[in-house]
Amino acid sequence: MSNKKPIIIDGLQYCRWDRAYFESLKNSGITAVHITLVYHETARETLTRFAQWNHYFELYQDLIMPIRSSKDIILAITSERIGILLGAQNCSPIDDEIGLVEVMRQQGLLIMQLSYNNQSLLASGCYEQHDGGITRFGRQVISEMNRVGMIIDMSHSAERSTLEAIDLSSRPLCISHANPSTAHSALRNKSATVLRALTQRDGLIGFSLYPFHLPNGSQCTLTDFCHMIADTAALIGIEHIGIGSDLCLNQPQHVLEWMRNGRWSKTIDYGEGSSNNAGWPEPLSWFKNSTGMMNIYQGLLDHGFNQHECNQIIGTNWLNFLKKGLVAI
């Protein structure tokens, strides 16, 4: 690897945020990370999450800074801080009001999923038996997100909904944290049809390190992971691939239950297809500390990728995608 420090962007995390963790991120060489601001929170509850992060930016201003445009990522690099991109894993922050798309973007919400596993007001989630596609409201929201420069994320959406969103959007979409369905049959993982459609419109997929969605689960080796990336690169091209680790370190069980159940279920819905997945999965041995991203870099090198391609996958592809997606029309 060259002496020049690579740009490293993680397309999704939801860890326990404190000084110790931000310091570990800095030690890992992370340039920027897309963090989940909310899962099922309403618009009012989302404002409280913004306030919480404003407090973090005040408390830990020596370590982190908010990203509102791709230019801020460059500022994060020059100031030697971690850039934080705020995103929503559901459309709940806009309630049922189209005007709140722009309001949330002005507050700093850069990325929003149209659905999270279940049917939403906008699209079908990947765990629904029937995929009705993009709704009437969803069409309006896609257009508005395009207008204000908010990135559409289809990580947890069903296939028809994802394909329709790709077709309807005037801007490239991302699948920030998922893997090809050929590698694992998890319902969130994406078919070759989706991956081709996504990348034909200049979109990006962030490969997930979530063990329940990986070949061999928590026993997935670095070689297995790099092989999955190589197969996908042969299908869609290197320039459309990034990392979206879906890392959820140091979070208690009730956080996992909130992700999966929100307020919609009286009983625990395991969400991943089996009660065997009721708890947090055992972390990958090669991706559970500050060396994780550089382990991927070295693994890709060992797998036959060159340095330029490794740099693309661990960061510059995300940077190029964000440059296009965060600019308002």
Question: Has residue 4 been placed in a domain?
Answer: no
d(CA 35, CA 15): 8
Question: Has residue 169 been placed in a domain?
Answer: yes
Give residue 2's pLDDT: 53
Left (φ > 0), alpha (ψ -120 to 50) or beta: where does 214 sit?
beta
Token pair listed for 13? 């995390």
Q: Which of the 8 DSSP states describes residue 177? A: E
Neighbours of 295 (CB within 10 A): 17
Give residue 289's pLDDT: 78
For the chain, first and last CA: distance in Å?
38
Question: Has residue 1 been placed in a domain?
Answer: no
Question: Has residue 146 been placed in a domain?
Answer: yes
CA-CA-CA-CA torsion for 110, 116, 120, 126, nearest 10 degrees? 130
Question: Has residue 2 been placed in a domain?
Answer: no
Domain count, the chain: 1
Give residue 328's pLDDT: 79
Question: Has residue 89 been placed in a domain?
Answer: yes
Give residue 3's pLDDT: 58
Give residue 268's pLDDT: 77
pLDDT, one tens digit per residue, over 146-187 is 999 999 999 999 999 999 999 999 999 999 999 999 999 999
Give residue 321's pLDDT: 98
Query: Who's near 295: CB < 8 A, 6+ residues apart?
Result: 222, 286, 287
Domain of residue 74, CATH code: 3.20.20.140
Give residue 29's pLDDT: 94
Closest to 45 in 3D by CA, of 110, 7, 114, 93: 93
Question: Has residue 101 been placed in a domain?
Answer: yes
Give residue 60's pLDDT: 98
Contact 186, 154 (CB under 8 A): no
Residues in the chain where the model's pLDDT stays below 50: 273
Question: Has residue 306 been placed in a domain?
Answer: yes
SS3 labels along 300-321: HHHHCCCHHHHHHHHHHHHHHH
Give residue 267's pLDDT: 85
Residue-range definition of the domain harbouring residue 159: 9-325
Give residue 101's pLDDT: 98
Which element (helix H / strand E) includes 181?
none
Contact 152, 165 (CB under 8 A): yes
d(CA 207, CA 189): 10
The radius of gyration of the chain from alpha carbons, rounded to an integer in Å, stands at 18
